[in-house]
Amino acid sequence: MTQQLKEATPEALDELGPVDWIVVEFPGSRFNGQIAQALTELVDRGTVRVLDLLLIRKGEDGAVDFAEVSDLDESEIGGLRAYEGALAMLLSEQDVTAVAEAVEPGSTAALLVWENTWAAPFASSVRHSGGQLVASGRIPVQAMLAAMEEDDRADDQADDHEQGD
């Protein structure tokens, strides 16, 4: 796909959406491919397009093993094999090595790169208007849940204080 991107017309490249990546760690190497169904649903709805996917296994001794989708059996990856032919292999060896450093020993991680196809028309419009992305961010779900729990606690304390007056 990297070659396909190089050969694509400027018009086709103009329609690309924003590209994101994540690393999802499974402590104890309990990765079993169950995420495949959710990812497939996103692809089937046209929400995302998978560009790259890599599994990283880190032994208890810190030894790292990288596996492309083609290297894994069905019990490990579920339906993720469907993306094998379309993957762009966008990640460099340096990228993968840096990501592997963050994986805890005794864990397996999935490194996923995807295009947000839902946002492609908006991104194209921004580019045609002379705009450019200058900042982006992501708030982890765990942080959102913690903030909401803290807000609930503060509300409860305020209610208790008001009732005590």
CA pair distance 142, 64, nearest whole angstrom: 27
Residue 82 to residues 67, 85, 96, 116: CA-CA distances in angstroms? Answer: 16, 7, 22, 18
* Within a domain: 154: no
Amino acid at 30: R
Number of domains in the chain: 1
Task: Give pLDDT tens digits along the chain (165 positions).
Answer: 344 455 555 555 677 888 898 999 988 867 666 778 888 899 899 999 888 888 888 999 999 988 776 666 655 555 665 655 454 567 778 888 899 999 999 998 988 888 999 999 999 999 899 998 898 888 888 899 999 999 998 888 888 777 766
- The sign of the dihedral angle between the CA atoms of 99, 13, 46, 72 is negative
Of 133, 88, 134, the C-alpha closest to 111 is 88
CA pair distance 109, 27, nearest whole angstrom: 8
Asked if residues 29 and 108 have their Cβ atoms less than 8 Å apart, the reply is yes
CA pair distance 54, 52, nearest whole angstrom: 7
CA pair distance 163, 8, nearest whole angstrom: 66
Asked if residues 46 and 117 have their Cβ atoms less than 8 Å apart, the reply is yes
Which structural domain range is residue 107 located in? 2-131
* Within a domain: 146: no
Global pTM reads 0.70
* Within a domain: 147: no
Asked if residues 111 and 52 have their Cβ atoms less than 8 Å apart, the reply is yes
* Within a domain: 72: yes
* Within a domain: 23: yes
What would the two tokens of residue 148 be? 């909401």
Q: Alpha-carbon Rg of the chain, whole angstroms? A: 20
